[in-house]
Chains A and B, each alone.
Chain A
Amino acid sequence: MTHTLRSPQDFAAGLLLGAIALGGLWLARGWEAGSLAMMQAGFFPRLVCYLLLASGLATMLRGLTADAPATLGWAWRPSVAITVAVVAFAALLDKLGLVLAILALIGIGGLAGRPLRPGPFTALWATLASACVAIFSWGLGLPLQIWP
């Protein structure tokens, strides 16, 4: 075994799994586990977390011993733009209504790829907004706020 990481991907995956397992165990610390014959709320979570911890450790070990491609890479632009767009939609929907929330969603979300020119963008906005109002508000009768 060498000291360099042979597969950062596996090592990182193992770290993440281990961290989730430890976090779960910590959150479950106060719950009663009971016994095998009399399981309480804490039994199953602990069982799953221990198994998860074991598989996390095994994956980390693999990261030290097995070769794998080194590049991880992270696409900042799409991941941030999509997430911010969806959260903005959630924040605006109840305050400014559906039409403007969709504008924010596709405006910010569009930055994830190559943004559309103003003309096609407006057409897309109008189509999506009217389709959503027609289907969800009129068709299915959802209590949606449409305008501010």
Chain B
Amino acid sequence: MTDIFANLWLGLGVSVEPMNLVYCFLGALIGTLIGVLPGLGPTATVALLLPITFYLPPVGALIMLAGIFYGAQYGGSTTAILVKLPGESSSVMTCLDGNAMARQGRGGVALATAALSSLFAGVVTTLVIAVAGPPLAGVALAFGPSEYVALMLVGLIGAVILAHGSVVKAVAMILIGLLLSMVGTDVNSGQMRFTFDIPQLYDGLDFVPLAMGLFGLADIIINLEETEGRGIEPSPIHRLWPTWADFKEAWPAAVRGTALGAFLGILPGGGATLSAFSSYALEKKVARDPAAFGKGAIQGVAGPEAANNAGAQASFIPMLSLGIPSNAVMALMIGAMMIHGITPGPQIMTKQPDLFWGMIASMLVGNVMLVVLNLPLIGIWVRLLRVPYGYLFPAILVFCCIGTYSLRNDVFDVVMMAGFGIFGYVLKKLDCEPAPLLLGFVLGPLLEENLSRSMLLSHGDLTVFVTRPISAGLMAVAAGLLALILLPAFRRQREVAFKE
């Protein structure tokens, strides 16, 4: 125990060095500013800003990158709440209730809740990483392919539970997401799948044009249709700060979200998205009034926001200790470390303790700095909502287009986005929800790879999923969730919950 505090103390010493504080602050500031642009999620932001850090010393560079990452995450939540544009998959859940709150004039409350939940989750998870990181790296190692498959099934079934309307349609949306994730070159055989001989598709579809089309463009069309061209009226802002009642409703959700996120984030591949989805499902399950979800329930913001921050941060554990990137951002971080001559892996904790613990302690500093930086800005962000829709939607269009273009400097992605916009509108007309589709899309490649690997290892024996203990436990959870959906009593309750 004393070891851990000695280590953290060493780390804090490194991270509060004046220059490192400056890097942390700059990272969080630039990260927020870029991340708040619709369409630029954390991955794009980190990728765009990566070159800046090449000129810094290694510790400073990593601290600044971590700051950029938190800033971009928080900036992404801001756009999710204000204009319902998730910059990345982990803020899809924040859109639902966060944007509903903003439309009721409670945008400031939603933003403050998101910031405070993220801060809480960030601080707790940092301590969790410090205490449990090294031993937990061992548990994550016990995860084989069949455990991954079981875990992903739990996540996908969770997505079905929280989708509106028909269960069959939600399953179908996941399947379409899986199909879309197969576009590109098959990693094992080199077989081109669903590429239609278009070179831009050889590397697969990107998340950003898909999410921007399905959420951004389709939403503009729907808003204009429902209001006959006038657009949504900005609702008057009642207050910026959460009341005591809000606070009392939000904090248990934030605690549960943090626990879920810290747990799921450690698993490589689990990460922020699955944490946010699971947390939303959990909150809806334990809420006294599940009908309020989707219509501005504060728990629906606090839970997923805490969970995605905790999950994102916990995903540093497999990255730093095993060298396994659990998502695209972590892959970029590993790339940056390599450029500075650092090889992530188990030896990093013992060989370069100042770097390892400095980075962990800077997470603490970075999270605090982010809130200090952002709470005063909430008033400015919320004022964006007062802009009439006639001005706002062309601006959203411009940022969607240019954000998508900036991914690869290719107009092909912009055309893809237009196509997904129409597809999203069709889905809305047919009462199908795009959120499960996105989860299927994100988990697709991992699911396919692990399914085929576990079957290869077991020689095609499907019982492997129930004979290995961790996998059997997860499968039991999945089966339980599935039974819940199919039980008539729960079905009725669920239908009531979604009645508008």
Binary flags per residue of B431-466, CB closer than 8 Å to A gives 1, else 0 = 110000000000000001001100110111010000
Instruction: Knowing A35-B460, A39-B452 are in contact, say whether A20-B394 is a contact too (CB < 8 A).
Output: no
Contacts of B194 in A (CB 8 A): 24, 27, 45
User: Contact size class for A?
Assistant: 35 or more
Q: Does B415 contact A (CB under 8 A)?
A: yes
Asked whether, in the complex, the Cβ of A113 is within 8 Å of the Cβ of B230, the reply is yes
Pick from B179, B230, B432, B460: contact of A48, CB below 8 A: B179
* Number of residues of chain B lying within 8 A (CB) of chain A: 66
Q: Does A40 contact B (CB under 8 A)?
A: yes
Contacts of B131 in A (CB 8 A): none
Which residues between 41 and 79 of chain A lie within 8 Å of chain B, taking CB atoms? 41-45, 48-49, 51-52, 55-56, 58-59, 62, 72-75, 77-79
Which residues between 79 and 127 of chain A lie within 8 Å of chain B, taking CB atoms? 79, 82-83, 85-87, 89-91, 93-94, 98, 102, 105-106, 109-110, 112-114, 116, 120, 124
Q: How far is the CB of B400 from chain A (nearest CB, A)?
A: 8
Asked whether, in the complex, the Cβ of A78 is within 8 Å of the Cβ of B221, the reply is yes
The distance in angstroms between the C-alpha atoms of A55 and B437, with both chains bound, is 14
Asked whether, in the complex, the Cβ of A83 is within 8 Å of the Cβ of B421, the reply is yes
Pick from B166, B191, B397, B415: contact of A85, CB below 8 A: B397
Contacts of B431 in A (CB 8 A): 9-10, 13
Asked whether, in the complex, the Cβ of B166 is within 8 Å of the Cβ of A62, the reply is yes
Contacts of B389 in A (CB 8 A): 113
Binds A, one of B90-98, B239-247, B296-304, B405-413: B405-413
Q: Does A1 contact B (CB under 8 A)?
A: no
Asked whether, in the complex, the Cβ of A106 is within 8 Å of the Cβ of B398, the reply is yes
Q: Does B382 contact A (CB under 8 A)?
A: no
Q: Does A31 contact B (CB under 8 A)?
A: yes
* 25 A-B residue pairings within 8 Å (CB atoms): A27-B193, A32-B191, A36-B455, A37-B458, A39-B456, A40-B191, A41-B186, A41-B193, A44-B448, A49-B179, A55-B175, A72-B429, A78-B224, A79-B221, A87-B418, A89-B414, A93-B414, A105-B397, A105-B398, A105-B401, A110-B390, A112-B221, A116-B390, A124-B395, A128-B394
Instruction: List the interface of chain A (C-beta within 8 A of B).
Output: 9-10, 12-13, 16-17, 20, 24, 27-28, 31-32, 35-45, 48-49, 51-52, 55-56, 58-59, 62, 72-75, 77-79, 82-83, 85-87, 89-91, 93-94, 98, 102, 105-106, 109-110, 112-114, 116, 120, 124, 128, 132, 135-136, 140, 142-143
